[in-house]
Structure 1
Amino acid sequence: MGPDLNATPSDDPEDYIDPIYHTSKPVVESDDPEDDPDYVDPREDDPEDGPETYSDLSTGEEYSDVEDLYDEDDEVPFHSNTDDAPNAYITGRTAMHHPVSALCDISDFQYVGMGESKTEHEGELAPGRIFRSKKQLILAVCDYSCKRNVEMRTQSSNKSRIIMVCVQKPNCPWRLYAICEGFNANWKISTNPHDHICTRPYNERRHDNLTAELIAEHVREELRKDLGLKISQVGGLIRARYTRIEPTYNKAWRGRERALEQLFGSWEGAYNKLPRLLEAIKRTTPGTKYDIISWETNDPNVRVFKMAAWAFGPCIEALKHARPVISIDASFLSGRYKGKLFTVCAYDPENHLIPVAFGLAEKEDKNSWGWFMSWVRFEVIGDMNRKYCVVSDRHKAIKAVFASTEYGWKAQGPQKVAIHRYCMQHVAENLFKKVGGGKQNKGLKDFFKVKLANKKNEDRFRERWEQLKAANRIAYEYLRNCGKHDETDRKERPKLFMWAQAFDKGHRWGLMTSNGSESLNSIFRVERRLPVTAIVEGTFYKCANWMNKRTQLVLERHRLVEIWPKRIEDKLKKHSDKADSMSTTTFRLDLGTFIVKARGEYRDGHGFEVSKYRVEIPPEMVQTDPQLPFTHTKCSCQKPQLTGIPCAHVIAVCKQSNYNVDQFVDERYSLYHQEAIWSGGQFHCYRDEDQWPVYDGPTIIPDKSIINRGRRKIIRTEMAMDKMEGKNKDKSKGPKPKKPSKKKVADHHQGQTVEEAKPNQTFKRQSNRLFNLPVGHFMLTGQIIMSNHVEIQ
């Protein structure tokens, strides 16, 4: 007889009395209760013995009904009907102040009685113990087996009874018999007379009773707290509970998937609930728009999901007050079904993200991007007279959308209605792939981003452009052609304005990357693992949280009677401090022409270089009232024209001529517009699922052909620049590989001999001198990154 792991009143299991479920009848202890001639099925009433009675060990009184053991305010262990269960609860939505980390249950509501708590099956499997369902009984036995390092199997099972035995039978006599109690549908352990006298080998780490359902039971609550729970963390939770068992990756993954289904409903059922959920949000949050595309099947009542798009009312309203520049991107779904999550975001005056629209599609192609961008253009933006600049990567499908006239984003030719620009970071990444990484090109990244792409003055850009042409012909040719729609077309003129700010004419508003959309992909990394309805709910709760938080911050600053947000104020102060060291000369007061001299870079042996800038401020455009509209000004450095913020040269003229600097800052940077962005609309919590609008359309199902196979992809593929050596490299990977000897130089030059490779080696040394410039030349790197930094809290 094995030890009694529960602290029962008696050491002898035969004398054990359950404090609640003790019955006045003796417990039958034969191996097969139905073979006993005196056996009476507890499901049948025995008129001779009368109704079954229960005793309260604290008072000794007997009761005919288990519910009589409790006062009116006590909790009843179980209920046959959840409608009559005072302590049953519904797993439902949480407060909006705690979004996504505790997303609501969007499946059919699960009524759970107190008898089906998480710790229900943690005690001994004593006769008389009652379980709410057969599933809970099996989970209890599996948990018992895993904790005691034993193993059982089901000998026979049907709707009314189940018999479990030890896998080492007949060497081990352990046996459990349970029955269904008829009307209540509760399952009761009738007999369990013997303990295990066997054990599994201690070096055996696998256990057949550790099922995916059991893993889901133990990780569900942790998953509710942290939807980003990793498979390794699931394995850690199981090892902490069962010290001798190591779950396989596959079983841990399936257990987490089962837990997700219990929290958010089935993957397949989520597609059919999507129209009801979006309609429920639309009815409670004014201005919300959505669209769902599905394809026909042989059954007219069933359609296959293809694409969906949605945008919340407050986000659409915020876009009207933001600068006319947006960024777009797509990222993969890592759940059961393949797909892409499309994102569109704008920026407030402090470059905080404004999530505008979201979309779901099977893959990135021209049809998917074309439909989504067309929906954004006509439904979200609406105003066709307002020309937007879109920053994106160089995906072929995106390029095709802006080359076509059918989607409303024509960016070329006489019918141009939009502006398309490339993300500087993606161009730099492709450039590295083209020229190859390595130490010899380590400075090329900073040179491209600081000295070329971010350069605002055309003359200085051309100077650096010629330097690149002389130093690295491959990089020069790539950058010269990457702006073309067809890079192989020699007749098409180079389009440097696609990535160079010097030729942008102010359409970007100084935003050189699509980091906003990339950040959204990272923010919704957890939601991308979930069913489609959970993805929509995740975007809703996070957007609502951002709006509420930003509104409070803006209102606090508005109470200080400020005109500009903090970022703009800091930038104006920085430019003002630089203007103090500049000298200004008035050339044509009637035309408003000024020459500003500023001390530039230090030249070895020649002192500091003095730079001259031409500033034009027509006198008739100068306003004395700061409340009047924005006044355009020009400077040869091109910063005011490209960003809408006066440079230090303009501020130097304002100080000399006693002009108000505020009139030269674009009004879309004002605190008034920032307040309109974040407080222009309100999110309202939608109702529970049983109160969602009725959907009478055909059933929507997922496309079975796009099921993800194998281990899911969670993070993006490491890019070439991530692999480049730097001061933050991972030192745990061991020492750097040795450099190849001179005899092997030819292997790195596509079969050239050592003599043929020597000119290339000389070229590399020249490239190093050009790209690995002194530290002072690259001090702007941090400043530029900060100016384009996107903050999300």
Structure 2
Amino acid sequence: MRFKSIFWSFGPSIVGWKYCRPILCLDGTFLLGKYRGTLLAAVGVDGNGGLYPLAFVVVESESIESWIWFLQMLHDLIVSTHSRPDLCIISNKHAGLIRGCCEIFPWAAHRHCLRHLRENFKKVLRRLAIPNCDAVCDKMYWAGNTDDIKIHERHMRDIQNIKKEAYDWLMERDRTKWALTYDGGFRYGVMTTNASECFNGVLRRARRLPIQGLIMSIYYNLVSLFIKRTTKVEQWTASDGSAFVPHTKAVLELAGRQARRSPQPTQINNHEFKVFDMSCSSFHFVITSPQTCIYSCGHPQIYHMPSKHAVTALSSRRWDHNAFVSTYYSLVCYKENAILLCVFTENVKPVRISAPF
């Protein structure tokens, strides 16, 4: 008998993930100490931007076979991963992840981690002998991370003028996979796998433990994390009457302040508006109902919450812009998740242990 691999996830985490944004950040890290191997993790993001560890696997190495097996276990043992049609997987585009996503999650949007893409782009620039690689990489990162298509196009033109081969390399990667402006709203503004990287950092010392010790360390780390989260929910409920989590509340308040300083929108008809900002840029809005809006500003579609331009247009009709905020940012969803986390901290046992592949 020889240990090969193990997949595990905790029951309340599985059930509670449906209240989080439909995003999974996949990444791996090496185990240290006497027992070598690789820990792969699937980490989600909750409505307030916090980490939501969902599933883990320990394998011999980060190979094509191990990633495919991990994705197959996610699909088979965590039903919510294939019951959410808007699922988005963010990764470093390892060959096993590309193949596994195509075979196991063909409907999911597979997006590139912008930080990993930046590192790969830097290697390309060095092979092309382009001076000042960091400045060109920064332009690529700004082009990918902006929600303004004009800024994106300006940085892409700069890269094309510096070296056409570098520009062509980026275009071959399909801008819908790495540029926020072409994303279609699947990312919810999450551009990197930092969620997985941060949780791997939490487990820095645990990575030296044997497998059983590693699993128990992850268990106790999750218990500690969820206890803090449930305490915060109680504080927010007692001190604040907002319908949204604090991060979303702050974003909406900022959009409201900026909208009050913006010029009055030009009303084309009962449903169409042209909104101007302080830079004299104009945006076209078609408001068909208190919950439906068509806009030329990509911000609401990308982040699933209204921008300052949308708030300006909706205020002119005296409609509540909060109706355009995704339910994942609501305090109700966060509370439902917290109830499950309370169960997790009271009576928890590891569940859904899978046999090796």
Partner of 2:267: 586
- Superposition map of 1:440-479 within 5 A: 440-450=132-142, 452-479=143-170
For 2:175 and 2:145, how far apart are their aligned partners in 1?
12
For 1:385 and 1:320, how far apart are their aligned partners in 2?
10
Partner of 2:333: 673
Specify whether residues 381 and 518 from structure 1 end up closer, same or farther in structure 2 by C-alpha distance, changes over 3 A only.
Answer: farther
- Superposition map of 1:48-59 within 5 A: none
- Superposition map of 1:505-584 within 5 A: 505-559=184-238, 560-583=240-263, 584=265
Partner of 2:310: 650
Partner of 2:98: 399
Contact preservation (8 Å) 2:38, 2:59: yes
- Opposite residue 650 of structure 1, the aligned amino acid is A
**Alpha-carbon displacement from aligned partner over 1:35-55 (angstroms, at most 9, x marks no partner):** xxxxxxxxxxxxxxxxxxxxx
User: Which of 262, 282, 287 lines up with 1:617 in the alignment?
Assistant: 287
- Superposition map of 1:294-443 within 5 A: 303-382=1-80, 384-387=82-85, 388-403=87-102, 405=103, 408-410=104-106, 417-436=107-126, 440-443=132-135
Deviation, 1:678, is: 2.7
For 1:686 and 1:567, how far apart are their aligned partners in 2?
29
Contact preservation (8 Å) 2:262, 2:276: yes
| Higher-helix-fraction structure | 2
Partner of 1:502: 181
Q: Which has the higher contact order (CA 8 A, sep 6+)?
A: 2
- Superposition map of 1:4-19 within 5 A: none
Contact preservation (8 Å) 1:435, 1:474: no
Contact preservation (8 Å) 2:187, 2:302: yes
**Alpha-carbon displacement from aligned partner over 1:64-121 (angstroms, at most 9, x marks no partner):** xxxxxxxxxxxxxxxxxxxxxxxxxxxxxxxxxxxxxxxxxxxxxxxxxxxxxxxxxx
Deviation, 1:679, is: 2.4
Gaps of 5+ in 1: 1-302, 411-416, 484-494, 601-609, 623-630, 688-699, 701-793
- Opposite residue 504 of structure 1, the aligned amino acid is D
User: Which of 292, 298, 309 lines up with 1:638 in the alignment?
Assistant: 298
Deviation, 1:438, is: 8.9
SS in structure 2 at match of 1:443: helix
Deviation, 1:649, is: 0.2
SS in structure 2 at match of 1:617: strand
For 2:192 and 2:79, how far apart are their aligned partners in 1?
21
Specify whether residues 613 and 367 from structure 1 end up closer, same or farther in structure 2 by C-alpha distance, changes over 3 A only.
Answer: same
**Alpha-carbon displacement from aligned partner over 1:697-719 (angstroms, at most 9, x marks no partner):** xxx9xxxxxxxxxxxxxxxxxxx
SS in structure 2 at match of 1:305: coil
SS in structure 2 at match of 1:304: coil
SS in structure 2 at match of 1:360: strand
Specify whether residues 650 and 382 from structure 1 end up closer, same or farther in structure 2 by C-alpha distance, changes over 3 A only.
Answer: closer
Deviation, 1:633, is: 2.5
Partner of 2:353: none
Partner of 1:21: none
- Opposite residue 316 of structure 2, the aligned amino acid is Q
For 1:425 and 1:524, how far apart are their aligned partners in 2?
21
**Alpha-carbon displacement from aligned partner over 1:473-499 (angstroms, at most 9, x marks no partner):** 232122122x2xxxxxxxxxxx21110
For 1:656 and 1:480, how far apart are their aligned partners in 2?
40
Paired residues, number: 344
Deviation, 1:439, is: 6.9
- Superposition map of 1:73-112 within 5 A: none
**Alpha-carbon displacement from aligned partner over 1:718-773 (angstroms, at most 9, x marks no partner):** xxxxxxxxxxxxxxxxxxxxxxxxxxxxxxxxxxxxxxxxxxxxxxxxxxxxxxxx
Q: Which runs of 4+ in 1 moved over 6 A?
A: none
Deviation, 1:472, is: 2.5
Contact preservation (8 Å) 1:507, 1:642: yes
Deviation, 1:459, is: 4.8
Contact preservation (8 Å) 1:333, 1:339: yes
SS in structure 1 at match of 2:6: strand
Partner of 2:352: none
For 1:538 and 1:438, how far apart are their aligned partners in 2?
46
- Opposite residue 124 of structure 2, the aligned amino acid is K
SS in structure 1 at match of 2:195: helix
- Superposition map of 1:22-171 within 5 A: none
- Superposition map of 1:659-670 within 5 A: 659-670=319-330
For 2:80 and 2:253, how far apart are their aligned partners in 1?
38
SS in structure 2 at match of 1:599: coil
For 1:634 and 1:677, how far apart are their aligned partners in 2?
31
For 1:455 and 1:441, how far apart are their aligned partners in 2?
20
SS in structure 2 at match of 1:346: strand
User: Which of 146, 157, 171 lines up with 1:480 in the alignment?
Assistant: 171
SS in structure 2 at match of 1:420: strand
SS in structure 2 at match of 1:331: strand
Contact preservation (8 Å) 1:309, 1:360: yes
Task: Determine what percentage of the aligned residue pairs are the same residue.
Answer: 25
- Opposite residue 399 of structure 1, the aligned amino acid is I
Deviation, 1:462, is: 3.1
- Opposite residue 54 of structure 2, the aligned amino acid is V
Deviation, 1:433, is: 1.7
For 1:382 and 1:672, how far apart are their aligned partners in 2?
19
Specify whether residues 424 and 536 from structure 1 end up closer, same or farther in structure 2 by C-alpha distance, changes over 3 A only.
Answer: same
Contact preservation (8 Å) 1:634, 1:640: no
Specify whether residues 430 and 617 from structure 1 end up closer, same or farther in structure 2 by C-alpha distance, changes over 3 A only.
Answer: same
Contact preservation (8 Å) 2:31, 2:208: yes
Specify whether residues 347 and 459 from structure 1 end up closer, same or farther in structure 2 by C-alpha distance, changes over 3 A only.
Answer: same
Partner of 1:172: none
Specify whether residues 379 and 686 from structure 1 end up closer, same or farther in structure 2 by C-alpha distance, changes over 3 A only.
Answer: closer
Deviation, 1:383, is: 5.7
Gaps of 5+ in 2: 350-355
Contact preservation (8 Å) 1:634, 1:641: no
**Alpha-carbon displacement from aligned partner over 1:373-427 (angstroms, at most 9, x marks no partner):** 1111221234634121100002122112123x2xx212xxxxxx21100001110
- Opposite residue 57 of structure 2, the aligned amino acid is G
Contact preservation (8 Å) 1:547, 1:679: no
Deviation, 1:530, is: 0.5
For 1:323 and 1:685, how far apart are their aligned partners in 2?
26
Partner of 1:87: none
**Alpha-carbon displacement from aligned partner over 1:619-655 (angstroms, at most 9, x marks no partner):** xx21xxxxxxxx2423222010111110000111122
Greater Rg over alpha carbons, structure: 1
